[in-house]
C-alpha cells in the first residue's frame, strides 16, 4: 500500500475532532469509554484515517485496561513501531503503516502465543463486521 500523505488541514476536514486529536496529534481517549473496548466483535478493524486493515477481532482479548487490546496485528506490515519517551517513560507507540495515524502502544505483557498487548484507541478504528452466511 502506498503511504497516504495529507496536510493536517485535510485530516481535520476528514476526521471528527476526537479522531483528529488521537490519530493525528497522538492523543489518547479516556479508558473504558471507547466503542470497541470490550472483545465482543467479529470482523476486521481498519484504520479510521486510511482504511488499512489492522487487527482481526479474533485476536482481541480483555486486558482490563480500558482500551481495545489485541495480541497481534492482522499482518506484520500493518503497523509501524516508534519509541515514545513522552510522559517520563519509554513506551513503544504503534502507528498505521499506511498513513502514520497514531493508534496506541504495544506492551510485552499480553497473552500467548505472542506475549504482546496492542493497546489501541477505539476512535482510531473502524470495524468491518464479518459476513454471516
Active site residues: 119
Task: Assign 3-state DSSP to the chain and report helix, strand, coil percentages, each to 5.
Answer: 20, 30, 50
Cell of 48: 479510521
- Between CA 52 and CA 95 the distance in angstroms is 11
- Between CA 58 and CA 30 the distance in angstroms is 24
Helix (H, G, I), strand (E, B) or coil at 86: helix
The contacts of residue 24 (CB under 8 Å, 6+ apart) are 8, 11, 12, 15, 49, 101, 102
Amino acid at each position: 500500500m502506498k503511504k497516504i500523505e495529507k496536510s493536517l488541514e485535510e485530516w481535520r476536514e476528514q476526521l471528527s475532532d476526537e479522531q483528529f486529536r488521537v490519530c493525528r496529534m497522538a492523543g489518547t481517549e479516556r479508558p473504558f469509554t471507547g466503542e470497541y473496548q470490550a472483545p465482543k466483535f467479529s470482523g476486521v478493524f481498519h484504520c479510521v484515517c486510511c482504511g488499512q486493515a489492522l487487527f482481526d477481532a479474533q485476536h482481541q482479548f480483555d486486558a482490563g485496561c480500558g482500551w481495545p487490546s489485541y495480541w497481534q496485528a492482522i499482518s506484520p506490515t500493518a503497523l509501524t513501531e516508534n519509541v515514545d519517551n513522552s510522559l517520563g517513560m519509554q513506551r513503544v507507540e504503534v502507528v498505521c503503516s499506511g498513513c502514520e495515524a497514531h493508534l496506541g502502544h504495544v506492551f510485552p505483557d499480553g497473552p500467548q502465543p505472542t506475549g504482546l498487548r496492542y493497546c489501541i484507541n477505539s476512535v482510531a478504528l473502524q470495524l468491518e463486521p464479518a459476513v454471516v452466511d
